[in-house]
Homo-oligomer: A and B are copies of this chain.
Amino acid sequence: MKKTLGTMALLGAFGAVTGAHAQSSVTIYGTLDAGIAKISGTTAQITKRDNNKLGFRGVEDLGNGLKALFQLEVRFEPDTGTVEAGSRPLFQGQSRVGLQGGFGTIRLGRGLTAYQEASVAFEPWNGLPTVSPSSTGGSIGPGFQPDLHVAGYTSDPLGPAGNSRNRFSNAVFYNSPLFNGFQVNLTVGAKEANGNAALIGRGTALAPQYPANSVPSAAPYSLSATYNNGRFGALAAYERNAVETDVWAVAASYKPTADLKLMASYQKQDQSHTMAANAETKAWVLGANYTVGAGKVLLGYGQKTPDAMPHTKQASVGYEHSLSPRTYVYADLSNRKSPPVANQTILRSYTFYGVGVHHNF
Residues of A participating in the B interface, judged by any CB pair closer than 8 Å: 1-8, 10-11, 14-15, 17-18, 20-23, 25-30, 32-36, 43-46, 50-52, 54, 56-60, 62-63, 66-70, 72, 74, 76-83, 86, 89-100, 105, 108-110, 112, 114, 117-118, 120-121, 126-128, 135, 137, 169-172, 175, 177-178, 183, 185, 190-195, 215, 224, 226, 228, 233, 323-327, 356-361
User: Given A7-B117, A17-B27, A215 and B357 touching (CB < 8 A)?
Assistant: no
- Chain B residues lying within 8 Å of A193, measured Cβ to Cβ, are 135
Name the B residues within 8 Å of A169 (CB-CB): 46, 79-81
Chain B nearest Cβ from A332, distance in angstroms: 14
Contact A60 B324 (CB under 8 A): yes
User: What is the CA–CA distance of A17 and B29 in the complex, to the nearest angstrom?
Assistant: 9
Complex contact B90–A175 (CB within 8 A): no
Chain B residues closer than 8 Å to A108, beta-carbon distance: 34-36, 46, 78-79, 356-357
Tell me whether A58 and B110 are in contact (CB under 8 A): no
Chain B's nearest CB lies how many Å from the CB of A156?
A: 11
Q: B360 and A78: CB pair below 8 A?
A: no
How many identical subunits does the complex contain?
Answer: 3
Docked-complex contact A11 and B105, CB < 8 angstroms: yes
Distance in Å: Cβ of A354 to nearest Cβ of chain B: 12
Q: List 13 A-B contacts (CB under 8 A).
A: A2-B358, A3-B126, A30-B72, A32-B70, A33-B97, A62-B327, A68-B357, A70-B361, A80-B169, A80-B170, A97-B359, A98-B357, A137-B192
The verdict on A29 contacting B36 (CB below 8 Å), with A6-B121, A135-B193, A170-B79 known, is no
Tell me, rounded to whole Å, the shortest Cβ–Cβ distance linking A45 to chain B.
5
CB atoms of A60 and B361 under 8 A apart: yes
Q: How far is the CA of A266 from the CA of B26 in the complex (A)?
A: 40
Give Cα A52–Cα B109 distance, bound, in whole angstroms: 12
Residues of B near A34 (CB, < 8 A) are: 96-97, 108-109
Q: Check if B109 sits within 8 Å of A90, measured CB to CB.
A: no
**Which residues from chain B contact A91 at a C-beta distance below 8 Å?**
76, 81-82
Query: Judging by beta carbons under 8 Å apart, are A4 and B323 in contact?
Result: no
| Bound CA–CA A75/B100 (angstroms) | 25
> Contacts A36-B108, A90-B82, A356-B108; is A58 near B17 (CB within 8 Å)?
yes
Closest beta carbon of chain B to A138's beta carbon, Å: 11
Complex contacts, A135 vs chain B, CB 8 Å: 192-193
Contact of A4 among B66, B80, B97, B120 (CB under 8 A): B120
Q: Which residues of B contact A190 (CB under 8 A)?
A: 36, 43-46, 79
Contact partners of A66 in chain B: CB under 8 A: 323
Least Cβ–Cβ distance between A60 and chain B, in angstroms = 6
Specify which of B43, B114, B226 is in contact with A215 (CB 8 Å cutoff).
Answer: B43
